[in-house]
Homo-oligomer: A and B are copies of this chain.
């Protein structure tokens, strides 16, 4: 039962939230948890990865495919819909073990006929283009039934419509919908085919819909079932003819049949869970929330391509422009690195593949090197606008400095690449663009930084750190420490290439002339100013002048709020002139560099900044959880863990900033939940062939089991209150070193280690 998310009864107010909560997906597409009879007003969406479009001067955003699952059932001419019909019973269910969505509804029509509808759907892992659905119904009285089913081309768009030149027709038993995108004229096709054994079928179409009407007089209490196969192709998938490819995909689906496809999908998901599952004993709620978090990471993971990465709202819709933020590198990557490094590599390579976009952005602002997009889409050009929030008091757009001042994004990318290398030992990433990317990021920072002649040091000025309530600050601790790491990584990468990949070293230097930067990087690394812990208080000032800001409690600050949706940051925001933070900033960097700071420093800063943090970002809670675990503040860690892990279950997150809708799933929090469980409570720290573990389980957890992969070697770990058991997979090729309670242990292939802690 820890695999089922279920909701009974129908509540119109939850349509939006449940669309997110019951999302299914396979990395290629996400299909929202909406009812088959819904349309765009209920935010039905088959959200596609790696296809973006821009209309006029509106935001560029991802394209939603036409809805191939569209199905409407009429009983004696009367539409049955949870939106308008009387309902005797309604249930919606998501099986997160295999990403299967089910609905069951017992309608009562106006003449008292009870019609039960069941529908089951999944997005195939076997064929990423394929969505399958089984739709069944039966009635308490014999009646005339009409089913409209096919493709609904009127899709949810925030800044659309994105599709033009719509074509709807039937071909080889398929309903076809073909269109191209407005901006780049990308071709997109949906083919839908059904298996049905009752009624008369008549094809129908209009400019937006390609569908069938199936008419039948049905018998009392007899269950009628039909199957739908929907295939989605876009020309960016490197197919010549999207329509033919979709038809072919459907033929293959029909040949395998629904049950076989369902089984194959289940099997593939079972294989996945072998590597990714985390088992918690003693706390069912945490267990469910954590698995649900892992589920959400997996349904949006690009297993098939390195041309895209994971957007901040996953594949739940067009919110945040379907753009990839630093969320992926800092909050999601650790999960993949430690469980599915091949997916981590795709995420990393996406950044290498969009390096030119980052170069364009840097050049546009007058810098050298690579300034990554704050909001990255297919090309790596920045989709972020300069006015991101609407002022609730004047209705005017508000200038924010996300795009031009959150320079830490380039450091986050470089950090992620180097983390991948440290966790996998996989040098190929460096040769295949990783080193170039890191060097270009370092080059950007060299050109961005200034030298303070008076203090003989480099400074990183005029930046916005993770705490976006304080824009355009100088010497932000998070940013500067990350910049330093970028310089270190760049020099290390250069050294590694030089020593091991001479040819690549030479050709890369020919291409980007990095040798001339080496002395620059070394000089900057040596003289870069890093805000350091105050000698008396241990506090690292978040940025120059932070200590001079108004010292006010979060509670008092909130009393000043006039409008519940007012933005606390920006030019005149309530938090801007105070010490109140949007999210972890210093605490985040202490968490990333746990080993570089003393426990006292980490403790002092956690305790100092925690009461000042508003957690206006869903990225914040897990950071406090992680460092709390490190500091043995297990109760605090548990509190923040729950906040993080349940965000998409409860829907308890900000839905609006100013007048802007920001709802959707929260994969960064999902990643944070996994990090807190495994890296926090499990106390796992892995780097360069060495895995340290110092567990600190929450009181209610009697055991914690998970898998971890390091340097390509896989392990099953089981932790109880006083013992750690590590089992190396039999097929491991090499050994890694484990450090537990100060002891070094080698864990050879197939070996089991049991040790108290």
Contacts and interface: CB of A to CB of B under 8 A. Distances in A.
A451 B523 CA distance: 14
A394 B446 contact: no
A511 interface: no
A472 interface: yes
Interface string A394-405: 101011000000
Interface stretch (A179-187, A571-579, A699-707): A571-579
Contacts of A560: 396
Interface stretch (A70-78, A413-421, A454-462, A498-506): A454-462
A637 to B, nearest CB: 36
Contacts of A570: 571-572
Contacts of A387: 577
A520 B453 contact: yes
Q: Is chain A's interface secondary structure helix, strand, loop, or mixed overall?
A: loop
Interface string A357-385: 00000000000100000000000000000
A394 B576 contact: no
B459 A462 contact: no
A467 interface: no
A140 interface: no
Contacts of A446: 453-454
Contacts of A396: 560, 572, 574
A254 to B, nearest CB: 56
A368 B461 CA distance: 19
A394 B570 CA distance: 14
A391 interface: yes
A593 interface: no
Contacts of A459: 450
Interface string A449-489: 11111100011011000000000101000000000000000
A509 interface: no
A571 B647 CA distance: 33
A562 interface: yes
Taking residues whose C-beta sits less than 8 angstroms from the other chain, chain A's interface range is 20 to 34
Contacts of A520: 453
A478 to B, nearest CB: 20
Interface string A414-456: 0000000000000000000000000000000011011111100
Given A450-B451, A451-B451, A399 B572 contact: yes
B453 A399 contact: no
Interface string A570-590: 111110110000000000000
Contacts of A449: 453
Contacts of A368: 454
Contacts of A453: 446, 449-451, 458, 520, 524
A573 B449 CA distance: 29
Contacts of A391: 572
Contact of A472 (B399, B447, B472, B577): B472
Interface centre among A446, A450, A520 (most CB of B within 10 A): A450
Contacts of A574: 396
A554 B574 CA distance: 30
Contacts of A447: 454
A458 B450 CA distance: 9
Nearest to A453: B451
Contacts of A458: 453
A562 B393 CA distance: 11
B398 A572 contact: yes
Contacts of A571: 570-573, 576
Nearest to A449: B453
A520 B455 CA distance: 13
A394 B562 contact: yes
A447 B386 CA distance: 32
A458 B453 CA distance: 9
A311 B449 CA distance: 40
Contacts of A452: 450-451
A577 B562 CA distance: 25
Contact of A461 (B393, B462, B572): B462
B461 A399 contact: no
A460 to B, nearest CB: 11
Nearest to A393: B393
A137 B576 CA distance: 61
A474 B461 CA distance: 11
Contact of A399 (B386, B394, B576): B576
A37 B524 CA distance: 71
A757 to B, nearest CB: 47
A344 B736 CA distance: 80
Contacts of A577: 386-387, 399
Nearest to A566: B394
A576 B398 CA distance: 10
Contacts of A399: 572, 576-577
A462 B452 CA distance: 14
A398 B571 CA distance: 9
A572 B450 contact: no
Interface of A: 368, 386-387, 391, 393-394, 396, 398-399, 446-447, 449-454, 458-459, 461-462, 472, 474, 520, 524, 560, 562, 570-574, 576-577
Q: Which 3 pairs of residues, A with B, have the shortest CB-CB distance?
A: A571-B571, A450-B450, A393-B393
24 contacts: A368-B454, A386-B577, A393-B394, A394-B572, A396-B572, A396-B574, A399-B576, A446-B453, A446-B454, A447-B454, A449-B453, A450-B451, A450-B452, A450-B459, A450-B461, A451-B452, A451-B453, A461-B461, A462-B462, A462-B474, A472-B472, A570-B572, A571-B572, A571-B573
Given A446-B453, A450-B459, A571-B573, 12 more contacts: A368-B454, A386-B577, A387-B577, A393-B394, A396-B560, A399-B572, A450-B451, A450-B461, A451-B452, A462-B462, A570-B572, A571-B572
